Amino acid sequence: MQNRVRELREGTGLSQGELGERLGVSRQTINSIENGRYLPSLPLALALAHCFATIVEDIFIQEEEKWNPRTIQSVER
Amino acid sequence: MEPTHHSIRRALSAVVLATGGLALSAAIWASGNHGFAAGVLSFYGVASIVTYRWAGGRGDVAAILSTRPDERQRGLDRDATAISGLAVTVVALVGAVVAVARTGNPGDFGVICLVSGASYVIALGAMQRRR
């Protein structure tokens, strides 16, 4: 899974440490997320989205067809 | 965070290590091997100091040692614990097999295998209730 955390963070001028501090995680964890080594939990992903004033789908991009939201037929209500 | 809380959390791993070392040294001392007891006490003393200093750092290990890890660091700690448990189980299994072949009795290795298997089943049951 690819993500835009580095791009969004650099856009705001925050360092990895500063972003980590805002989210209550370490600088190493932000670095791991940016490099795609660590996939954050849903609460942390939501917190990231909130921090960058966007939605999770704008930050994390699913590559595999299986779980791509664009290919999953939604349930009609 | 208050400085006192930070100091307590930083010292926790070192205190656990020192307490374990003290208990082990006391047991060895009671068995009559005073020189070895002093050596073990010195080793754990140095290990406790190193742990305390390491826990004051900024890396992943420091966060885990000072009991303030984030979700990724908790995952690292959990995975490392699982892998070390697996390593102990494999060694115990091999030891039990060798002991049975040599003496017909698995001995202490059998006890470790039993505890390992039983604790895994109990832990799995408990985790299923949580997730």
The CATH number of A2-61 is which of 1.10.260.40, 2.130.10.10, 1.20.1050.10, 1.10.760.10? 1.10.260.40
Q: What pLDDT does residue B110 have?
A: 96
Q: For chain A, what are the domain ranges?
A: 2-61
- pLDDT confidence of A65, banded at 50, 70, 90? low
Do A5 and A30 contact (CB within 8 A), yes or no? Answer: yes
Q: What pLDDT does residue B57 have?
A: 83
Helical residues (DSSP H) of A1-77, grouped into ranges? 5-12, 16-23, 27-34, 42-51, 56-59
Q: Do A32 and B72 touch (CB under 8 A)?
A: yes
A13-63: pLDDT as tens digits: 999 999 999 999 999 999 999 999 999 999 999 999 999 999 999 999 987
CA distances from B112 to B20, B24, B100, B122, B124 (A): 20, 19, 14, 15, 18
Do B44 and B18 contact (CB within 8 A), yes or no? Answer: yes
Contacts of A32 in chain B (CB under 8 A): 72
B6-65: pLDDT as tens digits: 778 788 889 999 999 999 999 999 999 999 999 999 999 999 999 999 888 888 999 998
CA distance A50 to A44: 10
Q: Do B70 and A32 touch (CB under 8 A)?
A: no
Q: Which residue of B has its CA nearest to A30?
A: B72
Q: Does A46 or B4 have the greater pLDDT score?
A: A46
CA distance B116 to B106: 14
CA distance B106 to B114: 11
CA distance B49 to A53: 45
Write the DSSP string, B22-79.
Answer: HHHHHHHHHTT-HHHHHHHHHHHHHHHHHHHHHHTSSSHHHHHHTT---HHHHHHHHH
Q: Do A38 and B72 touch (CB under 8 A)?
A: yes
Report residue B44 as tokens: 């754990």
Q: Do B59 and A28 touch (CB under 8 A)?
A: yes
- pLDDT confidence of A5, banded at 50, 70, 90? very high
CA distance A3 to A31: 12
Q: What pLDDT does residue B2 have?
A: 53
B55-110: pLDDT as tens digits: 888 889 999 988 789 999 999 999 999 999 999 999 999 999 999 999 999 999 99
Does the CB of B73 have a partner CB in chain A at under 8 Å? Answer: yes
B82 φ/ψ angles, rounded to the nearest 5 degrees: -65, -45
CA distance B107 to A55: 58
Q: What pLDDT does residue A76 have?
A: 76
